[in-house]
A = this chain, B = another copy of it.
Amino acid sequence: MDVRALETLRAVRSQGGVTAAAAVLHLTPSAVSQQLAALARDAGVPLTERVGRGLRLTAAGDALADAAVDVAVALERARAACAAWAGSPTGSVRVSAFQSAARLLLPVLLTRVAAIGGIAVECADEDVAQDAFAALTDRHDVVVAHRPAEGDPGWGEGVVAVPLLREPLDVAVPVSSALAGRAALEPGDLAGVDWIAVKEGFPVARVLADVAARSGATPRVVQRINDFHVVEALVAAGHGVALLPRYSSGGHPGVRLVPLTGVRAGRQVDALVRPDVAQRRVVAVVLEELAAVADGIRRAPAPTGTPG
């Protein structure tokens, strides 16, 4: 029973198909398919079943994929056992973050990690739909993701989440608006306004629905934009208001962030890691530094809009 085949099975499950799994494993779909066939022959039971033009893991395949992560964890622990004698942690860690978190966290993270020495952090920015974050852990060691602060984490099964930051969602209004003068806003104050929301299915889209529900009506969404800079530009131009995270936005001079009261609105920022890569000493160090960076922001928020 080959560990590479087990890893492949796990990738097929998390990626949802042979082709996608082949991509993250840097293989051809043919190789993946052959590995699955060999594994099923070795196991004695079918591990996958065709569904439509794709495939799905059977119950046995699912159980084996679960066991595969345990194998990967044990293997990584073995590597860590040698690394403990090999000296201080060294290597490269691939970190991915969605745009606003990348802007907020990565600069400080890179500085801190550089101070340690010997660790190379390869950054990337990826913002995907809520349920696609877990799959990113196949391509990156650490994935900074976000979700509505209320409710359970809801990341997939085979992924560990390290909480980084709880960020309140404020209401972004044009400075020229009457609402800009208020110290705080309640859901009732926002009935009938035009909203600029994020794309369907993306993180914190659900929060707007919750807030609007308190105001009694469904929100009138006039635009769906994911990039906060674009959102701020639209808000400043008077095209609507938006829910924006306090620490990651507010840089635009024509926009004012007004706290929202009467309803718990926030987003939770987590670092997602696969349990096996979490065993790597370097990854653990980078995770610690990332948590420290987030902690520093929580203590002394430095909105990008505040000069100096």
Contact = CB atoms under 8 A, between A and B. Distances in A.
Main secondary structure of the interface of A (DSSP, over half): helix
A274 to B, nearest CB: 15
Interface residues of A, number: 30
Contact of A71 (B47, B63, B68, B71): B71
Contacts of A86: 43-45, 60
A241 interface: no
A139 interface: no
Most buried by B among A58, A66, A78, A81: A78
A3 interface: yes
A43 B63 CA distance: 30
A144 B78 CA distance: 30
A128 interface: no
A84 interface: yes
Given A3-B3, A45-B86, A86-B45, A70 B78 contact: yes
A127 to B, nearest CB: 34
A290 to B, nearest CB: 26
B67 A81 contact: yes
Contact of A82 (B44, B70, B78, B83): B44
A98 to B, nearest CB: 33
Nearest to A78: B67
A73 B74 CA distance: 9
B74 A67 contact: yes
Interface in A21-66: 43-45, 47, 58-60, 63-64, 66
Most buried by B among A44, A67, A82, A86: A82
Contact of A77 (B3, B44, B67, B81): B67
Contact of A63 (B73, B74, B85): B85
Interface string A80-96: 11111110000000000
Nearest to A69: B74
A47 B79 CA distance: 13
B67 A85 contact: no
17 contacts: A1-B75, A3-B3, A43-B79, A43-B86, A44-B82, A45-B82, A47-B82, A59-B85, A60-B81, A60-B82, A63-B81, A64-B82, A67-B74, A67-B77, A70-B77, A70-B78, A74-B74
Given A43-B86, A44-B86, A70-B78, 20 more contacts: A1-B75, A3-B75, A43-B82, A45-B82, A47-B82, A58-B85, A59-B85, A60-B82, A63-B85, A64-B78, A64-B81, A64-B82, A67-B74, A67-B77, A67-B78, A67-B80, A71-B74, A71-B75, A71-B78, A73-B74
